[in-house]
Structure 1
Amino acid sequence: MNKPITKICILGGGFGGLYTALDLSRLTAVKSGQWQITLVEPKDHFLFTPLLYELITGELQRWEIAPSYRQLLTGTQVNLKPQKASNIDLNNHRVYLENEEVIDYDYLVLAVGVRNRWPAIPGLADYGLTFRSLEDVEKLQTAIHELETKGKSSINLAIIGGGPNGVELACKVADRLGKKGKVHLVERNEEILQNFPKSVRVASYRSLLAKNVSLYLNTGLKEVTANSMTVCKDNTNEVISIDLLLWTAGTQAQDWINNLDCQKTAQGKLLTRSSLQLIDYPEVFALGDIAEIYPSKQVIPATAQAAYQAASVVAKNISAVIRKKSLKPYYYLHLGDMLTLGKQSALVSSFGLNITGRLADIMRRFVYILRLPSKRHQLKVFQHWAKKILLRLRYSQVLSNTKSVEYRLHIRRGKRQKGE
């Protein structure tokens, strides 16, 4: 008698969900059809968010950081369901999709990530832009291009939030605008990158100041209009003229996640065991921005690095549960920090070693290429990157040779003129 197929449903195709699916797809039980994996993701492209900033300056192309799920899942046994989840019946093991389709599961992975949170600041939702998707990049590029074509002498752009997203964005936008623009970075705390090592903060400060970015620390946003923002520091308001405003300071869970009948934190995160299983539902795993381990003294950042590590643990633990083996606890290992600090410039800080500039940019890019979801796509991007570097080197060599020839001709002409 054939064993029933074990159904594994994964909600969300970001780092947590996609990498869990890919790890599971390599197992014999999946390849043989004993386990069935369904990945529910409404978008048609994966997004490698750490490299999203490079699209602003044209250092990378869209296809390099946003391969299609069809491409990434080719050759695997993962079934892609291009839909959005609307609700989950945890007791009856059912996922409800927005198109009214229902998916039954034996094991469920929640990796849907978070969405933007707009606090009740007058004008923010009307005039603010976000930076989390390809659509956001296109909106920003279009807005900057329109301002440039109008012939504005100076473009003023404000970024709210001095975390890694805000700092990296400020550096890239400052390089994109150059002398044509001015970037204002607003942070409500005493320092930018508050949870980062001092060495990272210092290097970031230097880069921002070198790019003439105006820093507003201990400063809150009070109001946004079509051409200005009002900020407040020490109970004193200041009105600053701006053309664009980017909001990077807050996120929140999807509405249906908030409605799930399970244990959550005061902030609405799903509480899990160290194995990343929901406390009340051991057949359900949660990871990424929507989950928090209880009890845990470890601070796990909401980063791609953390989600990547968690995905590996979830895949192993699902396999262990099915095979009735012992489960592995998730311990986040901080491998270091990598930030882009502008065009062809970055910071790499790992195990006491700090590198900045062009070398750090190459290291960061190389590490991220190795983290792309498939070997095929890694190779494709690496070849494209290597080709661009070789072309740049050849151009530099030709330019150098041309200057050398011009210099020799200039010397010869000078000698002839003296001998006349």
Structure 2
Amino acid sequence: MYLNFHTTPRKNTIPPPALGGNVTPNQICILGGGFAGLYTALYLNRLSWSKCKKPQITIIDKENRFLFTPFLYELVTREFQSWEIAPSFEKLLADTGIQFHQGTIQGIDLEKRQVQLHRGEIFSYDYLVLAVGRETLSDLVSGAATYAYPFRTLADADLLRERLRVLEATDLPKIQVAIAGGGPGGVELAGKLADRLQERGQIYLFARDKQILKNFSAFSQKVARQSLEARGVQVKFETSIDSVSSNQINLVHQGQVRTISVDLAIGTLGTQSKEWLRPLDCQHNSQNQLLTLPTLQLVNYPEVFALGDLADIRDAQGKQVPSTAQAAFQQANCAARNLGAALTGRPLLAFRYSHLGEMLTLGINDAIVSSFGINLRGSIACAIRRWVYILLRMPTCRHRLQVVKHRLKRLILDWLVSHRQQSTAKSYWRKSKY
């Protein structure tokens, strides 16, 4: 069920700034605690508010944890622990003054400037940031909703790990795994699963296009394909999954249909807009993404900002900005600055997307880094990717410090174990020699 609020175009008016004293602070409501939403709140909180009273910032999300999605794949191979990539909002926002409310959104009244949750709570706002992302399109393939495992959330990763644990405990000679999607999600997951299962697994990656990693650099495409082949992953191009059942999938390749047996099917493609977003009386594109002004505001609703993959955001050349974490970071920074400008009566700036490069994991201790003409692969790229994300992209200094301390402890312990094993081997060799 969702609310359907119909409005008519109105004059572009924004709330006046709260100028201090006993004036009630402006209420900024941020829907969605992902990259775009959380970082908008954090960037806003760091701004100087000398000219007006600091606004009250509230994040609303159905989950109680933030998810650092680039490291979701590392959970599959046990390289990271859940607390590292999914800290609670309560811990992240402690001592920031930012409020968090866990709840499921039912609808928005753009005219009354109200957000309604399923439990009946109503939140009034002066400014609204829409950053809820999109949701998995489970009915894209017949049977996928029942038999295929999605891979977008922490709960998805936990379910996948449990399924892998069950399969690994069986006497199956080969665990057959099918992954739908030749984008970064499918490629990264295929590499991780191949490294986890080793000789016990056979990974199939099905891509609808003639290549994997469409829109990525030629270097990333080439290295990723070589890496998958080296790991024994069978990549099937121009192939789509027509249906999924409990132990098999039907494939379509150049009009021909065939069936293969699988023990695990994973879908990494297909998203749709949130149901309650579709009836909003504002402009949408054919994919139900919200159309925005260059300042990230909705047309006719300048107090509403739309970020992330729920919005159709264009760069300076008119090309749609990709739905990536780096784009979300940049949009959050722009939205925070523009909210600050609106609250202090300054002009707003147009969003300018800068492509900073590509970083992909290819497996355990293996990755690609391609940025500003520098192309790296292997363990060096893996270390760079990992530490860039930890030191520069993870939220809050406190959480970064906790992760850094844990990572350094692991490095030291791994070195000590390796050194001890080498010493034991040398000692055994000397004794056997005599």
Q: Is 1:133 aligned to residue 148 of structure 2?
A: no
- Contact 1:39 / 1:80 at 8 angstroms: preserved in 2? yes
- Contact 1:263 / 1:270 at 8 angstroms: preserved in 2? yes
Structure 2 CA distance for aligned equivalents of residues 160 and 31 of structure 1:
52
Residue-pair matches, total: 412
- Contact 2:140 / 2:270 at 8 angstroms: preserved in 1? no
Larger Rg over CA atoms = 1
Q: Which residue of 2 aligns with 1:341?
A: 362
Q: Is 1:354 aligned to residue 387 of structure 2?
A: no
Structure 1 CA distance for aligned equivalents of residues 119 and 86 of structure 2:
25
- Give the alignment's Cα RMSD to 1 decimal: 1.6
Structure 2 CA distance for aligned equivalents of residues 97 and 33 of structure 1:
28
Q: Which residue of 1 aligns with 2:31?
A: 11
Larger relative contact order (Cα-Cα within 8 Å, sequence gap ≥ 6): 2
- Contact 2:106 / 2:118 at 8 angstroms: preserved in 1? yes
Q: Counterpart amino acid of 2:415?
A: L
Q: Counterpart amino acid of 2:339?
A: I
How far did 1:118 drift? 2.4
Q: Report the CA distance shift for 1:30/1:372 in structure 2 as closer, same or farther (over 3 A).
A: farther
1:381 to 387, 403, 406: 403
Q: Which residue of 2 aligns with 1:417?
A: none
Q: Which residue of 1 aligns with 2:339?
A: 318
TM-score by length of 1: 0.95
How far did 1:362 drift? 0.8
Secondary structure of the 1:256 match is coil
Structure 1 CA distance for aligned equivalents of residues 354 and 247 of structure 2:
44
Structure 1 CA distance for aligned equivalents of residues 42 and 163 of structure 2:
37
Give unmatched runs, 5+ long, in structure 2: 1-20
- Contact 1:30 / 1:36 at 8 angstroms: preserved in 2? no
How far did 1:372 drift? 0.7
Q: Which residue of 1 aligns with 2:181?
A: 161
- Contact 1:112 / 1:290 at 8 angstroms: preserved in 2? yes
Q: Is 1:86 aligned to residue 111 of structure 2?
A: no
- Contact 2:68 / 2:86 at 8 angstroms: preserved in 1? yes
Aligned positions of 1:192-341 closer than 5 A: 192-293=212-313, 297-341=318-362
Q: Is 1:372 aligned to residue 394 of structure 2?
A: yes
Deviations 1:280-327 (Å, cap 9, x if unpaired)?
211100100101136851331111111011101100000101111011
Structure 2 CA distance for aligned equivalents of residues 62 and 136 of structure 1:
12
Mean Cα deviation higher: 32-41 or 176-185: 32-41
Secondary structure of the 1:341 match is strand
How far did 1:32 drift? 9.0
Q: Counterpart amino acid of 1:381?
A: V
- Contact 2:40 / 2:336 at 8 angstroms: preserved in 1? yes
TM-score by length of 2: 0.92
How far did 1:409 drift? 3.0
Give unmatched runs, 5+ long, in structure 1: 414-420
Query: Is the helix fraction higher in 1 or 2?
Result: 1
How far did 1:408 drift? 3.0
Secondary structure of the 2:265 match is strand
Q: Counterpart amino acid of 2:332?
A: A
- Contact 1:263 / 1:280 at 8 angstroms: preserved in 2? no
Aligned positions of 1:43-82 closer than 5 A: 43-82=63-102
Identity of aligned residues (%): 43
1:393 to 402, 406, 415: 415
Secondary structure of the 2:298 match is coil
Q: Counterpart amino acid of 1:85?
A: I
Deviations 1:339-359 (Å, cap 9, x if unpaired)?
000011111111111111111
